[in-house]
Structure 1
């Protein structure tokens, strides 16, 4: 069964800028820039029927204008037991609306409701026990000023996650352009792996 999630791709120029924050934190496993993304709806392992229904729902989603997305800082998840270093993403009404639409589509396809609050971000590193709260705080302080990075997201994507330790590599299985055209995506080809 594939492990799936929906998200927004990070343009290569933005990914390149994010790589400047790599390094200098013991216990960090840095995510490959090609795997940077903003998760909209995590589904986990799903069967073929749910995957096909999800793809159909995403392909038929209402047309929408491209989204302006702004990454606005560095932070960590996990508090006293940090587990990830992230680039935070400004939550706009358009981004929240897209997330809610993906939630509705996933539930119609048969997925359980999402239980976690939506905190848009790009994971830069996953942390092991060596990266304690003090080390992460020092890293974030020493990283310097994070000038906001803005891009236009022109499509959503359905990703699959290959089985590996800590996520990735991620593969775009299908893409769903925004635009105010026909709203149809480049849906899943059932003959592809």
Structure 2
């Protein structure tokens, strides 16, 4: 099963991100239901491995935190790219991502070796679809974008099913973070 671990973005946060998509008007917009911050892409994994990972993820105990989306950039390879909002590297976010990766490694799931650069993908495109100046214009229009803090109280294990209409994400399990008000 193709899977990843991420922070879902729903409700008013997703609505704000859809407004940003409209303003940038480049590429194929990511549907509201697919907006998230990826903590670890797991690729295709046997269900048994994902069940073991689920047990590891249940052990993560970190406080809830606030996430700031600030700035915009291009991500991906030369063939397929995406435009995404950058997430400020909060210490709790960075710790959460590192713990997710360590949990995956403990159960035998290898993750990507590249540096974690937290972001929310807003739209996808192939290089041939848009002239470089249009892409650069979209980046310039979003360069000073800043959203008020987003409260992060959970993360989730997602299934990613590829269809002819694009990816469809389903939450397999969610994992609450500790309520800071309780301490």
Which bin holds the TM-score, normalised by the shorter protein? 0.7 to 0.9
Structure 1 residues 1-193: aligned runs within 5 Å: 2-23=1-22, 25-26=25-26, 28-61=27-60, 63-77=61-75, 83-128=81-126, 129-143=128-142, 145-164=144-163, 167-179=166-178
Deviation at 1:165, TM superposition (A): 5.1
Unaligned runs of 5+ in 2: none
Q: Take 1:166 and 1:100, find their aligned partners in 2: how far apart are those partners? A: 32
Q: Take 2:137 and 2:78, find their aligned partners in 1: how far apart are those partners? A: 13
Considering fraction of residues, name the structure with more strand. 2
User: 2:34, 2:168 within 8 Å by CA — same for their partners in 1?
Assistant: yes
Q: Take 1:79 and 1:3, find their aligned partners in 2: how far apart are those partners? A: 20
Deviation at 1:79, TM superposition (A): 8.9
SS at match of 2:110: coil
Unaligned runs of 5+ in 1: 182-193
Q: Take 2:11 and 2:179, find their aligned partners in 1: how far apart are those partners? A: 25
Q: Classify 1:58/1:19 alpha carbon distance in 2 versus 1 (closer, same or farther; 3 Å).
A: same
Task: Name the Cα RMSD after superposition.
Answer: 2.3
Paired residue total: 178
User: 1:76, 1:82 within 8 Å by CA — same for their partners in 2?
Assistant: no
